[in-house]
Structure 1
Amino acid sequence: MKPISARVTKGITVGTILRVADNSKAKLSKVVCVIGYKGIKRRYARAGVADMVSVSIIDGDLSLVGKVMKAVISRQRKEYRRKDGRRIKFEDNACIIIKDEKTGTPAGTVIRGPVAREVVERWPEIGKIASIVT
């Protein structure tokens, strides 16, 4: 994964319910694990904006419910700090389902709502279809 320019506070833990921000027929998902997390024994894995997580679909199309997929976190409620001193926070926690782990190709074709700039830095494929980058 590429580095990002902000110091992102990890505000999403295992078990957090995320809104799916793309049109991949899933509506809600639950974080199962954080990809690449190296932490301390018996501590919940945490993730922030632009991190890749593994999610289980809990609401949406019946063919997708219960499936485990990879996703990238696009928004989080917990505020984080950018290098210029600004603090950024969103009104919900959201993710984007991806098909390919290496390139970050999204499963959907449209992304609803804003996407953090840090996501576009790390995953340029998501930035190509994002309508609002904050």
Structure 2
Amino acid sequence: MAGIIGKVSKTLIPGSILTCADNSGAKTLMIINKIGKSGRRGGLANSGIGDIVMASVKTGTPAYRKKKVRAIIIRQKHPLRRKNGIHVRFEDNAAILITESDLPVGTEVKGAMAREVIEKNIKLAGIASRVV
């Protein structure tokens, strides 16, 4: 696994609402917890672009509603800084659903995906429509 090329600000906490950016059937997700969390003792585990989280599906098809799913964050509103000095900011917080073996559930991604996600999980490059 290659290193991240910049500093990702971890601004999403448990309870944050995300848009589901794939065609799996889920529409909105709420973060429950970060997988492999690393936070201060007794504190909330923050997550950012490229992190795998456990989420609850709030709206979507009946097959997914009220279910716990694994998701990877592909966009965040808070700007992230890259090594070349530019700041990248997206207009929404979004994630896509993944399986236990980190394969995507959907077949396409709506909107852009951050390059940091592809560097952490190369399997998601096949379904990305745009990589920023």
- TM-score of the alignment, normalized to the shorter chain, above 0.5: yes
Residues 100 and 106 in structure 1, CA contact (< 8 A), matched pair in contact too: no
SS in 1 for 2:33: strand
Task: State how many pairs are aligned.
Answer: 132
Residue deviations 1:54-78 (CA, integer Å, cap 9, x gap) = 0000000012111111110000001
Considering only aligned residues, what root-mean-square deviation do their CA atoms show, in Å?
1.1
Counterpart Cα distance in 2 of 1:3 and 1:35: 18
- Deviation string, structure 1 residues 4-49 (Cα, Å, up to 9, x no partner): 2111000111100000000000000000000111221231110010
Please say if residues 34 and 54 of structure 2, whose CA atoms lie closer than 8 Å, have aligned partners that are also in contact: yes
CA distance in 1, matches of 2:54, 2:3: 20
Q: Which residue in the other structure is 1:123 paired with?
A: 121
TM-score, with length taken from structure 2:
0.95
Matched, 1:61 2:61: yes
8 Å CA contact 1:16–1:31 kept in 2: the answer is yes
Q: TM-score, normalised by structure 1?
A: 0.94
- Secondary structure at the aligned position of 2:24 is classed as coil
Residue pairs, 1:36-115, within 5 angstroms: 36-101=36-101, 104-115=102-113
Q: 4+ residue stretches of structure 1 with deviation over 2 A?
A: none
* Percent of matched pairs sharing the same residue: 39
